C-alpha cells in the first residue's frame, strides 16, 4: 500500500496539485474540520459507496490517525482502486481545514 505523510499531502495541495482526498472519519469528527475538497465517506460506508469512485483516479485516504484510512485503503486496493494512505491522519495535519 502506498503511503504519504500529512506534510507531503499538504505540500502537494500548496503546489496546486488536484488531489482526490477521501475522509473516512465519522460525521462528528468531520464536523471539527476536514481538508478542503475532501469527500466524506465514513469507513462503514466505503463498501457501499465505492461505486461512486473512478478506478482510473488515485485517491488519498484520510482518518484521525491513519488506522481506519489504512483499512479503507486496503479494502479499495483489493477491489482494484488506486489508493494512498495518509499516515498520521488529521492528528498530523497542520494545513487548512474547512
In the chain, % of residues over pLDDT 90: 99
| Helix (H/G/I), strand (E/B), else coil: 58 | strand
pTM: 0.96
Farthest CA pair distance, the chain: 33
Residues annotated catalytic, as ranges: 63
Give the C-alpha separation, 48 to 54, whole Å.
Answer: 14
Q: What is the dihedral of CA 33, 5, 25, 46, to 10 degrees?
A: 130
φ/ψ of 89, rounded to 5, equals 55, -160
Q: Over the stretch 37-50, which tens digit does the pLDDT of each residue have?
A: 999 999 999 999 99
Q: Binning pLDDT at 50, 70 and 90, where does residue 27 land? A: very high
21 close to 35: Cβ distance less than 8 angstroms = yes
Amino acid at each position: 500500500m502506498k503511503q504519504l505523510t500529512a506534510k507531503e499531502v499538504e505540500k502537494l495541495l500548496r503546489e496546486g496539485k488536484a488531489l482526490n482526498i477521501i475522509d473516512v472519519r465519522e460525521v462528528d469528527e468531520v464536523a471539527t474540520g476536514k481538508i478542503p475538497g475532501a469527500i466524506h465517506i465514513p469507513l462503514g460506508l466505503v463498501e457501499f459507496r465505492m461505486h461512486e469512485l473512478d478506478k482510473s483516479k488515485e485517491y488519498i485516504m484520510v482518518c484521525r490517525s491513519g488506522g481506519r484510512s489504512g483499512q479503507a485503503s486496503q479494502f479499495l486496493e483489493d477491489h482494484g482502486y488506486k489508493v494512498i494512505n495518509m499516515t498520521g491522519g488529521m492528528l498530523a495535519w497542520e494545513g487548512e481545514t474547512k
